[in-house]
Structure 1
């Protein structure tokens, strides 16, 4: 019998509020998320728990409503009210950890390729090859204005630019051959000029000629991540991504998306096994089922309906005073199509609302709890069994674990779920050492197709 493949674990870290809208008000939530020590502690916890990657999302503006007002987000402490710079945070984490991957979100829509390449290569050097780049194109006018534009360009323009930017970033990172830095003190040669080259990118795309002012980093380039769920986003992921984050509402939805991504990768000339799909989850783990259900009930009780409705109105650019809470959520979403800037996310919301016949009130409450992504709840054994089922069914190569509250939700997952995943052979044994020296190497080692024993 073949050994089961191990799965990838990614910890999403974005305090004070992630998917669970009442996170910052919960008594078990840490309030020191503006201190480097908070992120170092979380990273060390994830490292002990066998996680491959600590991932930080990013946004370049506080989310606004239809009138361009950020008041709802700020007053409620909603997702995006505060966003620290991922590179700065991960630089602090890099020196205090030894194996956890460091995933930074960097938009391709505003920064020059040279700036992106130098920043990511610097962090890859300083972390000894542990960096991943979550490639986003940004989605809102607020972000565009903060970066000097009048409005966000079209999706087609953003993805066209993203293709060019990623191409140029990788060219810059390859501008030094692996053996170019010789530091020959006796011969007086620091670097071999013949092994350092300018980029071949055409000047009409405003490419940086280089070379990059850094030697090649340990990985050559960061592990490439992406989470676009639209048709254009999946096309982009199939072309570039090594890890893809998928937010679907169940096993079948995830399996369909993973199958489509793998087929798109094959048609793009890639080995589908080079692209690993990680499903977003918000697990609620406990020592027993009763303990976990008690925790979930406590989380749900802290969601205020009025605040949830206003947050949904802000998200969908609707007037909260004109919303009919007992109306079909599907009809409400149809009237406000395109408000979020994410076709894939809105498709997922519409599918769940249709399947479960949700009202606007129910949609608002569920959106405030977990943004309609799966929230497996139970003992460590039960959650581990559910994740293995997804894994075996071809619905996911791993999981993006979003904590409801920090750090307790991660602590519960590491205490209760991780030992069960290890027992089932889905994670390395505690204390096991990887033979790979970089994040990409460890992911390849861990996620390679299983061979018969």
Structure 2
């Protein structure tokens, strides 16, 4: 595939009811049964109409303790994306699947099956689940330590990549005259025997039109950056200022090069949650309406889920309680997100309530309140200054927030020559302008 001039990439990050914590209560949000295929199909169709690269859903294999305060139900990601693959034609499907509570063969098989059935439109968002509630659903008393989770993830991904490469591209002959369906010499056992896993292989699913699913990783801790530099083709991240974005972009691209990979073959995608209005004043009114629907109890629980620190005993309008937090490097949960929260509170001298309000829009990701032109200007500035290759667009409310982006912002970026007007291929690799990976089967055979 010939490389195209650098252009923006967008995923629609879909959160039940919208990404703003108060969105589900707002009249602009759909008051429908959110856990229906009809609703999910409508959201995916809007994203596909905008020619976005993919739809993306977060996931954790446990029921959130905040279910009383906000819609938080989550479909199994493979089941959800399998359903969406049948009612869409081009949009990519980024499935979040944890390495913490699964086995490599099952994950490799499920995602490869989805990739093949969708015509090569699937990416795997690799996560190391840090939820204690999730751990207790799988026979553990608490979450595994940060470093061990990543050691397990490292080997897990190695095994999955070997399994996805266990078929050579031309293994299927389908020769009816000779009665030979496949050349068995071109399908290889992987014979993996490591610290966590022992897997014979091969996989029982052949490659899709894109060769193998796209590897996606989220996390900005030092461990996460090292992991991404070795494996990721798309990196989801959260930076709030242009300078922070440029620093992370340069750091990761340098690490990728140090690992012998082409930095241009890894796309850095920053979370962005705009509130869009026909004017800045209108956008500010809507943002205020959403903020008035916030519940501090929900925000405190979310902050505790991220950091493991309970702040319910501190006054909401008092100084932010930095002393309640341990050294970030000792946090076994979301280290990079915890560091982001602390830096945000310090930089803007926020109260505890102020931090909760900042996090409410997008859980620490970048936010902007303004007109479509202002949102487009922000996106172009980050893109041109090499702080991002694209954005995880996080609609404040659904489906209207996504429609505003698709109908108002995307046309501006298209006129500026920064984003496609039509899909230029059929696979997720085509959308992201990523090369097909080298066939692992040849290395296995050797």
Q: TM-score, normalised by structure 2?
A: 0.91
Task: Give the direction of change, closer, same or farther, for the CA distance of 1:175–1:305 in structure 2 (3 Å limit).
Answer: closer
Task: Give the direction of change, closer, same or farther, for the CA distance of 1:317–1:204 in structure 2 (3 Å limit).
Answer: closer
Asked whether 1:235 is paired with 2:231, we answer no
Render the CA deviation track for 1:88-128: whole Å, top value 9, x for unaligned: 11111101111100000011112111101100110011110
The Cα shift of 1:398 comes to 0.2
User: How well do the aligned residues superpose, as a CA RMSD in angstroms?
Assistant: 2.1
SS of aligned partner of 1:378: strand
- Distance in 2 (CA, whole Å) between partners of 1:54 and 1:372 is 20
Task: Give the direction of change, closer, same or farther, for the CA distance of 1:107–1:167 in structure 2 (3 Å limit).
Answer: same
Shifted more, 120-129 versus 329-338: the winner is: 329-338
**Residue aligning to 1:35:** 36
Q: Decide whether the 8 Å contact of 2:284 with 2:369 is kept in 1.
A: yes
Structure 1 segments (4+ residues) deviating >6 Å: none
Q: Decide whether the 8 Å contact of 1:330 with 1:350 is kept in 2.
A: no
Q: Decide whether the 8 Å contact of 1:284 with 1:295 is kept in 2.
A: yes
**Residue aligning to 1:77:** 70
Render the CA deviation track for 1:27-86: whole Å, top value 9, x for unaligned: 2222332111111111111011121010111011234xxxxxx3xx122126xx321111
SS of aligned partner of 1:238: helix
- Distance in 2 (CA, whole Å) between partners of 1:205 and 1:314 is 27
| Pairs within 5 Å for 1:243-282 | 243-282=234-273
Q: Decide whether the 8 Å contact of 1:242 with 1:275 is kept in 2.
A: yes
Task: Give the direction of change, closer, same or farther, for the CA distance of 1:415–1:77 in structure 2 (3 Å limit).
Answer: same
SS of aligned partner of 1:54: strand
- Distance in 2 (CA, whole Å) between partners of 1:376 and 1:395 is 16
**Residue aligning to 1:145:** 136
- Distance in 2 (CA, whole Å) between partners of 1:306 and 1:158 is 30
**Residue aligning to 1:131:** 122
**Residue aligning to 1:450:** none
Task: Give the direction of change, closer, same or farther, for the CA distance of 1:220–1:341 in structure 2 (3 Å limit).
Answer: same
Render the CA deviation track for 1:340-381: whole Å, top value 9, x for unaligned: 701100111111111100111211222223323221222211
**Residue aligning to 2:439:** none
SS of aligned partner of 1:214: coil
Task: Give the direction of change, closer, same or farther, for the CA distance of 1:240–1:87 in structure 2 (3 Å limit).
Answer: same
**Residue aligning to 2:367:** 375
**Residue aligning to 2:316:** 325
Q: TM-score, normalised by structure 1?
A: 0.90
- Distance in 1 (CA, whole Å) between partners of 2:299 and 2:251 is 34
Q: Decide whether the 8 Å contact of 1:332 with 1:360 is kept in 2.
A: no
Asked whether 1:351 is paired with 2:343, we answer yes
The Cα shift of 1:414 comes to 0.9
- Distance in 2 (CA, whole Å) between partners of 1:357 and 1:342 is 22
Q: Decide whether the 8 Å contact of 1:10 with 1:54 is kept in 2.
A: yes
The Cα shift of 1:146 comes to 0.8
Q: Decide whether the 8 Å contact of 2:362 with 2:394 is kept in 1.
A: no
- Distance in 1 (CA, whole Å) between partners of 2:139 and 2:56 is 27
**Residue aligning to 1:25:** 25
Q: Decide whether the 8 Å contact of 1:113 with 1:168 is kept in 2.
A: yes
Gap regions ≥5 residues in structure 1:
64-69, 447-453
**Residue aligning to 1:107:** 98
Task: Give the direction of change, closer, same or farther, for the CA distance of 1:333–1:82 in structure 2 (3 Å limit).
Answer: farther
- Distance in 2 (CA, whole Å) between partners of 1:164 and 1:318 is 30
Asked whether 1:194 is paired with 2:195, we answer no
Task: Give the direction of change, closer, same or farther, for the CA distance of 1:191–1:15 in structure 2 (3 Å limit).
Answer: same
- Distance in 2 (CA, whole Å) between partners of 1:393 and 1:124 is 34
- Distance in 1 (CA, whole Å) between partners of 2:5 and 2:433 is 15
- Distance in 1 (CA, whole Å) between partners of 2:110 and 2:298 is 39
Shifted more, 284-293 versus 405-414: the winner is: 284-293
The Cα shift of 1:437 comes to 3.4
**Residue aligning to 2:112:** 121
The Cα shift of 1:200 comes to 3.9
Render the CA deviation track for 1:245-265: whole Å, top value 9, x for unaligned: 111121111111111100111
SS of aligned partner of 2:411: helix
- Distance in 1 (CA, whole Å) between partners of 2:217 and 2:434 is 21
**Residue aligning to 1:437:** 426
**Residue aligning to 1:394:** 386
SS of aligned partner of 2:141: coil
Shifted more, 401-410 versus 140-149: the winner is: 140-149
Task: Give the direction of change, closer, same or farther, for the CA distance of 1:384–1:165 in structure 2 (3 Å limit).
Answer: same
